[in-house]
A and B are shown apart, each in its own frame.
Chain A
Amino acid sequence: MISQKKASYLLIAALFALGVLMPFVIKKYQLNMLTEIIVFALYAVSYNLLLGYAGLLSFGHAMFFGMGAFTVAVSLIHIPGLSMWNAVLLALVMTTAVGFITGGFLLRHKGAYFALLTLAFNSLFYAVATKWHKITGGDDGLSITRPDLHLGFTTVKMAGLTNFYYVTLVVIGAVIVFCWYFTKTAMGQTVLLMRENEERMKFLGYDTNISRLILFTFTGALAGLAGAFYTLHFQFVSQSAISVDMTTTVLLMTFVGGTGTFWGPILGAFVYIIVQNYLSDITDRWPLFMGLIFIVMVLLIPGGISQIILAIRGLFSGKGGRDKPVAAEESPS
């Protein structure tokens, strides 16, 4: 028998191998979609660290995503010769700083208050992005060209999609694995326990406010990284990247996939983007159907697709009770 841990490592390796093979198998249009899925998977994973693990419902996650997206675009336009790494690094620094500062304000509140304030802050960022036409391009958005990647010994052309897909796969994939590792560390477990019983954690000597701030900043930086790759992927960014719709998107992905497991949101991003692509071919009203799917899930399957999968697996293996979701649904209100 292989242990649970080993099985996880094998699964990750298999997924990477599959990812490496994909460009040979699928068409360019689908590869485009796959790159988008990987980027949004990180965005959804970062959101789930807040929602599923810490029980913090934020309606302002797009401000980090958008901040990362705009930082890359603006820095690539205004600093000539800037390498891709440095642009991404700048985005990370910016979103970390923003996460730390806004977190200080926002985390004074919990539950509904927190949700409301994040929405208000997101709107502030959106307003700035719309009005500050000189830097952000306002309604017109910003177009960039992906810079080539210098690896020291060789230069990789980034103009084509396939090369960029590999960079995305390796970088974002590694970061997602790191997130998974993070949830297993003492810090990650602290976050979980804090949601379950904050009083007791305080009693045990943990400073829950600091832990929450660290988590918030961390997830902000992750969303910023996703945003940075979003800009690099589309070679375009507009204020929609920082709008509340972008938060709605990640909320839908995370929730459809399921907040109860680590991999749920990744699955959610996958399903969401594919369903969206097909629905938008059939009807212009796809957001309406997305909304209906969301409501039905909230009412009937609060654990999302991962809940269904776990239930099916439980049926087959006959040990339904074994795989308790890592991050159970409710937060104590």
Chain B
Amino acid sequence: MSEVSVFFLHGLAYAGLLFLVSAGLTLVFGMMNVLNFAHAAMYMLGAYFSFSLLQATGQFWLCLLICPLLLFIIGALVERFLLRRVHVYGHLHELLLTFGLAYIITELVKWIWGNFPQAVNLGGFLGGTVELFGIIYPVYRIFIFVCAVFVGTAMALILYKTRLGIILRAAVNDNEMVNALGFNVPLVFTGVFAFGAALSGLAGVIAGPLLTTYPGMAHEILIDAFVVIVVGGFGSLGGAVVASLLIGELQSFGVLLFPKLSLALVYMLMAAVLIIKPSGLFGEKQ
């Protein structure tokens, strides 16, 4: 019994991480219609920034604050100076650009930090364990889940309850009209992309102590995040929540029940969704 609950909690922690990664991806995709292949590379960048900052200062809280901020700036620069320039050429070029960026970031990371895993060790309260319903469980995994819930709630509140959220959603529907009403839509889009990058950075910082920090981490999470988006439905925040939970738990229990098939399970889920409902569980019809 306790084994099952431990695996359930593991699944929740991974689901939290998956949600943090895919939330930014799906936000940018839903708002700007850009599928950002560099998202996971930015997530990796966040993890490496955090690794270096943690070595220098030893303060994990500082990493949680500063690394997303750095990624926010990088994201804003990328949108303003690269992405916007190719926007006129159409969709294909935006994809190619983000793909090229991902490639360059990965190579840069290999160059600066080396092509080997770096372990991030947490001290203090977060690195410890806590007793929960009779199970000893690492605090950090619970922290990840709490973070994801916090970020998800904040995003939903901003999107659906604030004035900024209304402008954002309106800009998606008819960006020329919103522009004509006096809102600076290009700035809004830069903000959205930068916010997506910041989210990926946050996810990277959080992933560091849970998984190892190495140059292949971007590709690994990218596929899972893509599966989340496909299963949940393109551009749907609610879909990302449900799909993250599904895939997190599926991976966790997959290891427990069918160790050999654990990897294929995720793809099988994706294939099943594609056959039954190609637009994803919560996706609108394309």
A111 neighbours in B (Cβ, 8 Å):
91-92
Contacts A105-B271, A116-B229 given; indicate if A329 touches B104 (C-beta within 8 A). Answer: no
Contacts A108-B274, A112-B29 given; indicate if A119 touches B91 (C-beta within 8 A). Answer: no
A199 at the interface (CB under 8 A from B): no
Counting chain A residues whose Cβ lies within 8 A of the other chain, the interface size class is 35 or more
Min CB–CB distance A243 → chain B (angstroms): 9
Contacts A288-B107, A291-B100 given; indicate if A120 touches B91 (C-beta within 8 A). Answer: no
Min CB–CB distance A242 → chain B (angstroms): 14
A290 neighbours in B (Cβ, 8 Å):
103
B227 neighbours in A (Cβ, 8 Å):
120
Binds B, one of A173-181, A295-303, A310-318: A295-303
Contacts A285-B107, A291-B103 given; indicate if A113 touches B234 (C-beta within 8 A). Answer: yes
A81 at the interface (CB under 8 A from B): no
Contacts A113-B286, A119-B223, A120-B270 given; indicate if A330 touches B93 (C-beta within 8 A). Answer: yes
B99 at the interface (CB under 8 A from A): yes
Residue of A nearest to B274 (CB): A105
Residue of B nearest to A112 (CB): B35
Complex interface bits, B78-111 against A, C-beta within 8 A gives 1, otherwise 0: 0000100110011111011101110110011001
Complex interface bits, A47-83 against B, C-beta within 8 A gives 1, otherwise 0: 0000100010101000000000000000000000000
Which secondary structure characterizes the binding site on chain A?
Answer: helix
Residue of A nearest to B97 (CB): A298
Interfacial residues of chain A within 251-308, with CB under 8 A of chain B in the complex: 251, 255, 285, 287-288, 290-292, 294-295, 298-299, 302
A170 at the interface (CB under 8 A from B): no
Q: B91 contacts A333, CB within 8 Å?
A: yes
Q: With A and B bound together, what is the CA distance between A331 and B91 in angstroms?
A: 8
Residue of B nearest to A109 (CB): B278
Min CB–CB distance A302 → chain B (angstroms): 6
B169 at the interface (CB under 8 A from A): no
Counting chain B residues whose Cβ lies within 8 A of the other chain, the interface size class is 35 or more
Min CB–CB distance B123 → chain A (angstroms): 35
B263 at the interface (CB under 8 A from A): yes
B264 neighbours in A (Cβ, 8 Å):
124, 127
Q: A120 contacts B90, CB within 8 Å?
A: no
Q: A120 contacts B230, CB within 8 Å?
A: yes
Query: How many A-B residue pairs lie within 8 Å, measured between CB atoms?
Result: 105
B226 at the interface (CB under 8 A from A): yes
Min CB–CB distance B112 → chain A (angstroms): 11
Which secondary structure characterizes the binding site on chain B?
Answer: helix
B267 neighbours in A (Cβ, 8 Å):
120, 124
Q: With A and B bound together, what is the CA distance between A332 and B93 in angstroms?
A: 11
B89 neighbours in A (Cβ, 8 Å):
302, 329-330
Min CB–CB distance A95 → chain B (angstroms): 20
Q: With A and B bound together, what is the CA distance between A195 and B223 in angstroms?
A: 28
A211 at the interface (CB under 8 A from B): no
Q: With A and B bound together, what is the CA distance between A288 and B270 in angstroms?
A: 33
Contacts A117-B230, A287-B103, A295-B97 given; indicate if A332 touches B90 (C-beta within 8 A). Answer: yes
Contacts A120-B227, A120-B267, A124-B267 given; indicate if A112 touches B103 (C-beta within 8 A). Answer: no
Q: In the complex, which of the residues B35, B111, B226, B263 contacts A120, with contact meaning CB atoms closer than 8 Å?
A: B226
Q: A298 contacts B90, CB within 8 Å?
A: no
The 10 tightest CB contacts between A and B, nearest first, are A333-B91, A112-B35, A330-B90, A288-B107, A291-B104, A291-B103, A295-B100, A294-B100, A123-B223, A124-B267
**6 contacting pairs across A/B (C-beta < 8 A):** A57-B96, A113-B234, A119-B226, A120-B223, A288-B111, A333-B92
Taking Cβ atoms with an 8 Å cutoff, the residues of A that contact B are 51, 55, 57, 59, 105, 108-109, 111-113, 115-117, 119-120, 123-124, 127, 131, 244, 248, 251, 255, 285, 287-288, 290-292, 294-295, 298-299, 302, 329-333
Seed contacts A298-B86, A299-B82, A329-B93; 15 additional CB < 8 Å A-B pairs: A57-B95, A57-B96, A108-B274, A108-B278, A111-B91, A112-B33, A116-B226, A123-B223, A248-B103, A255-B96, A285-B111, A288-B104, A290-B103, A294-B96, A329-B90
